[in-house]
Amino acid sequence: MGCDRVKTTIKTNIIEFMKNSNKKSFSMELLAENLGLQKSQDFKVLVQTIAQMEREGTVSFNQKGKVRLVNKETTLEGKFRANERGFGFVTVEGEDQDIFVPKNDTNFALEGDQVEIEITTSGDPLNGKAAEAKVKNILTRGTTQVVGIFTLFDEDEINESHLYGVVVPKDKKLASYRVFVTAQGIKPEDGSVVIVEITHYPAPEYTNSFEGLVSKVVGHKNDPGMDILSIVLQLGIPTDFDPETLAEAEKIPDVVLAEELVGRKDLRQETIVTIDGAEAKDLDDAVAIKKLDNGNYFLGVYIADVSHYVTENSALDREALARATSVYLTDRVIPMLPRKLSNGICSLNPDVDRLVMGCEMEIDPSGLVVAHDIIEGVIHSTARMTYTAVNEILDNSNEETLAKYSELVPFFENMAELHHILEEKRTRRGAISFESREAQIIVDSDGHPEDIVLRSRGVGERLIESFMLAANETVADHYTTLQLPFIYRIHEHPKEEKMQRFFEFLTNFGLMITGTKEEVAPKELQKVLDEVADRPEEPVINMMLLRSMQQAKYSETPVGHYGLAAEDYTHFTSPIRRYPDLLVHRLIKEYRKLPVSQKTMDKWDSLIPEIADRSSQMERRAVEAERATDSLKKAEFMQDKIGEEFDGIITSITKFGIFVELNNTVEGLIHVNQMKEDYFHFFESHLALVGERTGVVYKIGQEVVIKVTKSDPETREIDFELISAEPLEVSLQEMNTYNSRKQSKNKPNSPKRGQSSKREQDNHPRKKGKSKGKGKQPFYKKVAKGNKKKKKAKK
């Protein structure tokens, strides 16, 4: 009886712990650790209890052997992510996989909505099949405003419908919707770019319509830069600082004051330089290096002490956290901090005193950090160097540059020497090095793209990266060892199902990976990248591996960085443009005096998870804005190239067509409907299209020649026509697979890119002369009347 009572108590504790945890599945070891049952006899009782709970149906084991509570209910809550083709996914906190919502089951949910869903089909993670669900209820709306171009109704339409006009949203995910603007509120001019506050959302009676009030006129659609500004506003990225924030920034001195130097390490006589791009104005990192008598290297990484000026809970701090990151777009930067700070007192400009946080390291010839110190200091930068100048010095390519910086040449040679040591160390431990192609879009004063050029990364760029990585790791390791609350930059192991698909993809190129999909080491993935270096398929394999990885993010838990093969990692080096770095500096100062009080630890234990989550979300928003603006400008650049032919490489194969990337990184689609020479079957496992009659095969990595047929900046889509393709050698095994598949399957459907439901305005009668107040049902009589006229015209 006593043993049964113990098991009952343990069972209660297990259920309570699992219910209250953010995680959804647990290893036996983790359960034992958290329940204090690590002793041999206690662990045995835990195992017996779990076995009993499994028989009762209280818990189950997943494919990885982890324990999870059995969810008796079929409903869950999560955040809805929309796809422009009508379907969506719901992210449920604690679940490993997103849940797929088919097009007809979204219940009019929109991007960012918090929804209640009902599971309709269980998932199969090992076979890459997501669970499916339907949206039962929309709990809170994530989309409260829409940015778009306003079209004014004529006077008769306004009088009859009591609507002032209609807005076409700029967001591609809302492309099938129209936003009807009520006659109340701001009355913009035709062609204005406006922000509309939503008052009514789509519903069964009016499936493709919003209704709202214009809250702001941003400008006219033809104004320079309005295209990018529309994307920024639609994503909710603030473009102006609050008056309180600006007023606070204005009170900050333009120079370092004498009293601010008290207690700081004085480094003003040391040789310290900044190395950045020629256009950079927010210089937040500087470096120093020395060769020591014992054969080791001294490396000093000095970072702008932003936390000295942006104090906790100030207006500057609150707005910096709300933004969480600076956003770097094609022709502009939207800073996290007012320029008074980012380009002024916090920028490590040459020949002026600046306050810094420093990480000073002694590094041996193998790249190991044998000693370090984290300091508060003051520097007086010796020189503002550019990557171009440093590269010219290191490769002896410019006599003028060598002469100008002759005294600093040995300084940079020592930097290059240490960089190669650190780079080799990362290679030995298995860090993954992606040599992805990065493009720079050159625009004129009006924002029109003039050229697209590939950025080159010389030793100057890479050595700064090496030094920043070393500082970030050293700071993270320091506070992990102290076991104090901290914020980390983490990159978790790839998910098993994604690695499985990547393994299968590699077989198309005759490549194999040592290790299992569950525990593949980053070193094995780097071997693949080394093997395909300089081969035509290199960029494609780089891209597919990137897609197979998890997203890096911020967290309070130091689980390590998979891509860097680092046990501990944080962001310490860019507090001007990233809030987590600013927080790291604040924590360093807070933990200066040891021991740290329990009150302080409790405070940061409660605050850091929320800050980490906010920072990760805002980082993803910034990336989305960057990609959208790049796509827009690339489409604009290709507009006058229609009819021209270019070389490219196939980067993706889908059932509806082939995506091809040109040498300048512009990507376009060859739609399967335009491939008239044959009917093509899609083989997902091989990522190939195979002609039914001709047997012609198109696969990722294949070189092609295309002709540009369409380029639309509004939709940010570019279409190509296939002119010719590099012949492929297809193995007998592959050919047998293709033939057997073609004989056993019916022809698949080939939906067009972006196709969702038919885009049409809703047909709603609206009572003439009756205005609509908040909460009343909106109707659109004028739109219905217009549609009737069209039907009559057809007759």
Distances (CA, A) of 289 to 10, 11, 197, 375, 408: 57, 58, 55, 16, 11
- Residue 756 is predicted with a pLDDT of 37
According to the 3-state scheme, what is the secondary structure of 400-433?
HHHHHCHHHHHHHHHHHHHHHHHHHHHHHHCCCC
Tell me if 677 sits within 8 A of 696, measured CB to CB.
yes
Tell me if 164 sits within 8 A of 786, measured CB to CB.
no
Q: What is the pLDDT of residues 324-375, one digit of tens each?
A: 999 999 989 999 999 999 999 999 999 999 999 999 999 999 999 999 999 9
Percent of the chain with pLDDT over 70: 88
Of 608, 628, 573, 582, residue with least CA distance to 323: 582
Determine which of 142-156, 406-420, 711-725, 756-770 has the lowest per-residue pLDDT on average: 756-770
Q: Is the pLDDT of residue 131 over 90?
A: no
Encoded amino acid at 506, one letter: L
Q: What is the pLDDT of residues 615-631, one digit of tens each?
A: 999 999 999 999 999 99
Q: Is the pLDDT of residue 722 over 50?
A: yes
Residue with tokens 């009756």: 770
- Residue 475 is predicted with a pLDDT of 98
The most confident of 52-56, 176-180, 358-362, by mean pLDDT: 358-362
What would the two tokens of residue 784 be? 């219905």
- Dihedral pair phi/psi, residue 587, rounded to 5°: -65, -40
Q: Output DSSP code: residue 447.
A: S
Distances (CA, A) of 598 to 101, 484, 591, 595, 604: 45, 10, 12, 9, 10
- Residue 71 is predicted with a pLDDT of 67
Q: What is the pTM of this model?
A: 0.79
Q: How confident is the model at residue 490 (pLDDT cuts 50, 70, 90)?
A: very high
**Radius of gyration of the chain measured on its C-alpha atoms:** 29
- Residue 72 is predicted with a pLDDT of 58
Residue 234 burial by Cβ neighbours in a 10 Å radius (0-12, 13-18, 19+): buried
Terminal alpha carbon distance of the chain: 86
- Residue 186 is predicted with a pLDDT of 87
Any idea how long the chain is? 795
Cα gap 332→229, rounded to integer Å? 10
Average pLDDT over residues 749-777: 36
Chain-wide mean pLDDT for the chain? Answer: 86
- 305 or 775, higher pLDDT: 305
Q: What is the pLDDT of residues 700-714, one digit of tens each?
A: 888 999 999 999 998
Q: Is the pLDDT of residue 749 over 50?
A: no
- 291 or 683, higher pLDDT: 291
Q: What is the pLDDT of residues 552-587, one digit of tens each?
A: 999 999 999 999 999 999 999 999 999 999 999 999
A 10 A CB-CB count for 476 gives 26
Average pLDDT over residues 438-465: 92
The most confident of 74-88, 203-217, 495-509, 550-564, by mean pLDDT: 550-564
Q: Is the pLDDT of residue 770 over 70?
A: no
- Residue 478 is predicted with a pLDDT of 97
Q: What is the pLDDT of residues 290-302, one digit of tens each?
A: 999 999 999 999 9
Residue with tokens 């110190």: 373
Cα gap 625→619, rounded to integer Å? 10
Average pLDDT over residues 537-561: 87
Average pLDDT over residues 651-662: 91
- 568 or 755, higher pLDDT: 568
Tell me if 82 sits within 8 A of 173, measured CB to CB.
yes
Determine the distance from the C-alpha atom of residue 214 to the mean position of all C-alpha atoms in its chain, rounded to a whole number.
Answer: 30
The most confident of 432-436, 507-511, 638-642, 694-698, by mean pLDDT: 638-642
Q: Which residues contact 213 (CB under 8 A, 6 or more apart)?
A: 181, 182, 184, 185, 186, 196, 197, 199
User: How would you list the strands of the sheet with 383-386, edge to edge?
Assistant: 265-266, 369-380, 353-363, 297-304, 285-291, 273-276, 383-386
Q: What is the pLDDT of residues 214-235, one digit of tens each?
A: 999 999 998 988 999 999 998 9
Distances (CA, A) of 181 to 197, 353, 700, 780: 9, 54, 46, 11
Q: Is the pLDDT of residue 416 over 70?
A: yes
Q: Is the pLDDT of residue 771 over 70?
A: no
> Which domains, ranges and CATH numbers included, belong to the chain?
2-69 (1.10.10.10), 75-140 (2.40.50.140), 244-484 (no CATH), 496-549 (no CATH), 642-744 (2.40.50.140)
Distances (CA, A) of 35 to 29, 41, 120, 433, 461: 10, 14, 34, 40, 49
Encoded amino acid at 525, one letter: L
Cα gap 240→253, rounded to integer Å? 22
Of 746, 550, 536, 748, residue with least CA distance to 654: 748
